[in-house]
């Protein structure tokens, strides 16, 4: 916008200056020519008064410009010059001005006792244009200066408009990225200030809607888990062990699906959060270590020596770690060892979970489903968590443990 406004002002100013300066330049030239011709006419009249007197030659010498006096009988006084058509016309008793080679000539007729004489004063082009080129150069410099001044003023004016607009664009990008605390600073023209206030109102309204959604998610979690608990108790009270196991498996699958739905809803409704990945991973591994000890699993953990802030909430990261560790417990035999590592990488924090179980082939995994069980749901939760922070998830075979390996890259927190 700044460039277009500068071009517009430059074009407009140039047209106005051309409309003003071109007539002014022509006027300056006309004034200079009229002044030169007026001086030449005065000199010719001064000499014409002395025609027919003994003081003619003295009068010619006193004029500081080329003067020729054509006397009757083809005699001349002063600078020699040929008879021209204009001289012959002036000899009839008329005073004329005519174009000549290298300038103009002023011809004044004068009567004497011998007849009609003609006084010729030559005005060269240099005198006709004296001071004109300098005046034109001054006008040109003035015009260029005015155009440059107009461009500078237009740029300052455009900056006063574009700077608030750029601020609005940055705030909108922050809001689109999940930073609901971003607010625009009203400034600039009234229209831009109005847009900034409207954008701030929209951001506040979005924040209110997300808060209401979070409350709805919490209520949904409470309402769904209560009947699930009742179903689990009913399944445990069945007398047929096979029937009880089948119903219990259905209840477990339903609970995992409900947990996934609630986790995803919380993730969508939550604003941009951050947490210390070191503390969260340490706490969740400590929680699962109790079950690992009961099943005879060896758990190794490697964490950074200090805090590692990542762009994901503590609850969301805890759910991600629980999903990954839960897959190991659910889909590997008891006694299978596992390793959890958290390291600082160039692109973010890398969380790695490995086990010494049978593993899986990455190409067999589908979103929310797996050919080898239900690990796809846990990996989908971990993948969503990684992508929400700006990272990603990869699965492969572990070279150290020999089983499955899951790498979750979490982007660093901007703060």
User: What pLDDT digit, counting tens, does each position of 118-136 carry?
Assistant: 888 988 988 889 889 999 9
Place 190 in a pLDDT band, splitting at 50, 70 and 90. Answer: confident
Q: How many helices (H) and strands (E) does the chain have?
A: 10, 14
**Is residue 369 a part of any domain in this protein?**
yes
Place 393 in a pLDDT band, splitting at 50, 70 and 90. Answer: very high
Question: 301 and 359 in one domain?
Answer: yes
Number of domains in the chain: 3
What pLDDT sits at residue 375? 42
Edge-first strand listing for the sheet containing 115-124: 75-78, 67-71, 115-124, 103-112, 96-100
What pLDDT sits at residue 225? 66
| CATH number (domain holding residue 24) | 3.30.450
CA distances from 195 to 30, 202, 379 (A): 56, 10, 42
Question: Burial letters for 46-72: b for 16+ Cβ neighbours within 10 Å, e otherwise?
Answer: bbbebbbeeebeebbeebebbbbbbbe
Question: Burial letters for 388-408: b for 16+ Cβ neighbours within 10 Å, e otherwise?
Answer: bbbbebebeebeebebbbbbb
Question: 412 and 284 in one domain?
Answer: yes
**Is residue 152 a part of any domain in this protein?**
no
CB atoms closer than 10 angstroms to residue 232: 16
**Is residue 48 a part of any domain in this protein?**
yes
Return the axis-axis angle of helices 241-269 and 190-236, rounded to nearest 10°: 170
Q: By residue range, what is the domain housing residue 391? A: 273-415
CB atoms closer than 10 angstroms to residue 299: 17
What pLDDT sits at residue 221? 65
Closest CA to 93 of 119, 116, 114: 116
Secondary structure (3-state) at 280: helix
Question: 412 and 337 in one domain?
Answer: yes
Place 361 in a pLDDT band, splitting at 50, 70 and 90. Answer: low
Question: 281 and 266 in one domain?
Answer: no
Would the pLDDT of 100 be above 90? no
> Who has greater pLDDT, 259 or 367?
259
What pLDDT sits at residue 203? 87
Q: Which of 28-42, 122-136, 201-215, 329-343 has the lowest mean pLDDT?
A: 201-215
What pLDDT sits at residue 368? 39
Q: Are 47 and 69 in contact (CB under 8 A)?
A: yes
Place 366 in a pLDDT band, splitting at 50, 70 and 90. Answer: very low
What pLDDT sits at residue 374? 41
- What value does the mean pLDDT of the chain take? 83
Question: 331 and 305 in one domain?
Answer: yes
Question: 319 and 242 in one domain?
Answer: no
Would the pLDDT of 415 be above 70? no
Closest CA to 85 of 118, 55, 128: 118
Would the pLDDT of 298 be above 80? yes
Secondary structure (3-state) at 406: strand
**Is residue 151 a part of any domain in this protein?**
no
Place 373 in a pLDDT band, splitting at 50, 70 and 90. Answer: very low
Distance (Å, whole) CA 123 – CA 106 = 8
Question: 412 and 279 in one domain?
Answer: yes
Question: 108 and 127 in one domain?
Answer: yes
Q: Which of 53-57, 174-178, 267-271, 343-347 has the lowest mean pLDDT?
A: 267-271
**Is residue 351 a part of any domain in this protein?**
yes
Would the pLDDT of 362 be above 70? no
Region 286-301: mean pLDDT is 91
| CATH number (domain holding residue 407) | 3.30.565.10
Is 249 exposed, middle or buried (CB count within 10 Å of its CB: 0-12, 13-18, 19+)?
exposed
End position of a domain, from candidates 209, 241, 271:
271
Place 372 in a pLDDT band, splitting at 50, 70 and 90. Answer: very low
**Is residue 162 a part of any domain in this protein?**
no
End position of a domain, from candidates 79, 109, 132:
132
Would the pLDDT of 364 be above 50? no
What pLDDT sits at residue 302? 93
Question: 231 and 127 in one domain?
Answer: no
Going by their DSSP bridges, the two strands 299-302 and 338-344 should be labelled as: parallel
Question: 383 and 287 in one domain?
Answer: yes
Secondary structure (3-state) at 61: helix
Closest CA to 271 of 374, 358, 177, 159: 177
**Is residue 390 a part of any domain in this protein?**
yes
**Is residue 87 a part of any domain in this protein?**
yes
Q: Which of 33-42, 236-245, 259-268 has the lowest mean pLDDT?
A: 259-268
pLDDT tens digits for range 68-96: 888 887 788 888 888 888 888 888 888 88
Q: Which of 17-21, 23-27, 246-250, 251-255 has the lowest mean pLDDT?
A: 251-255
Question: 361 and 235 in one domain?
Answer: no
pTM value is 0.46
Would the pLDDT of 231 be above 80? no
Region 216-221: mean pLDDT is 69
Distance (Å, whole) CA 187 – CA 194 = 9
Question: 285 and 253 in one domain?
Answer: no
């Amino acid at each position: 916008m700044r460039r277009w406004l500068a071009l517009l002002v430059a074009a407009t100013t140039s047209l106005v200056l051309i409309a003003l300066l071109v007539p002014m330049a022509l006027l300056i030239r006309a004034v200079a020519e009229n002044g030169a011709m007026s001086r030449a006419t005065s000199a010719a009249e001064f000499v014409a008064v002395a025609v027919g007197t003994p003081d003619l030659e003295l009068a010619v010498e006193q004029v500081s410009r080329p003067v020729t006096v054509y006397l009757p009988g083809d005699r001349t006084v002063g600078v020699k010059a040929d008879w021209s058509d204009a001289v012959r016309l002036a000899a009839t008793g008329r005073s004329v001005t005519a174009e000549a080679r290298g300038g103009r000539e002023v011809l004044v007729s004068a009567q004497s006792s011998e007849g009609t004489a003609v006084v010729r004063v030559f005005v060269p082009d240099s005198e006709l244009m004296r001071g004109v080129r300098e005046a034109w150069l001054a006008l040109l410099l003035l015009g260029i200066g005015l155009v440059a001044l107009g461009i500078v003023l237009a740029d300052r004016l455009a900056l006063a408009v574009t700077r608030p607009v750029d601020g609005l664009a940055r705030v909108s990008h922050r809001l689109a990225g999940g930073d609901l605390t971003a607010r625009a600073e009203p400034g600039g023209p009234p229209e831009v200030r109005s847009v900034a206030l409207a954008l701030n109102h929209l951001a506040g309204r979005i924040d209110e809607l997300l808060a209401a959604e979070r409350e709805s998610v919490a209520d949904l979690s409470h309402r769904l888990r209560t009947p699930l608990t009742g179903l689990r108790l009913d399944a445990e009270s069945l007398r047929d062990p096979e029937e009880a196991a089948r119903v219990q498996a259905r209840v477990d699958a339903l609970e995992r699906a409900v947990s996934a739905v609630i986790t995803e809803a919380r993730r969508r409704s939550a604003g941009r959060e951050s947490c210390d990945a070191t503390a969260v991973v340490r706490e969740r591994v400590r929680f699962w270590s109790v079950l690992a000890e009961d099943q005879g699993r060896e758990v190794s953990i490697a964490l950074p020596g200090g805090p590692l802030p990542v762009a994901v909430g503590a609850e969301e990261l805890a759910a991600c770690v629980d999903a990954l560790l839960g897959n190991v417990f659910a889909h590997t035999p008891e006694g299978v060892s596992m390793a959890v590592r958290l390291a600082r990488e160039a692109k973010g924090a890398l969380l790695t979970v490995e086990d010494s179980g049978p593993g899986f082939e990455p190409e067999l995994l589908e979103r929310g489903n797996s050919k080898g069980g239900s690990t796809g749901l846990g990996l989908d939760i971990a993948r969503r968590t990684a992508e929400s922070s700006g990272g990603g998830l990869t699965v492969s075979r572990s070279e150290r443990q020999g089983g499955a390996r899951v790498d979750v890259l979490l982007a660093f927190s901007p703060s």
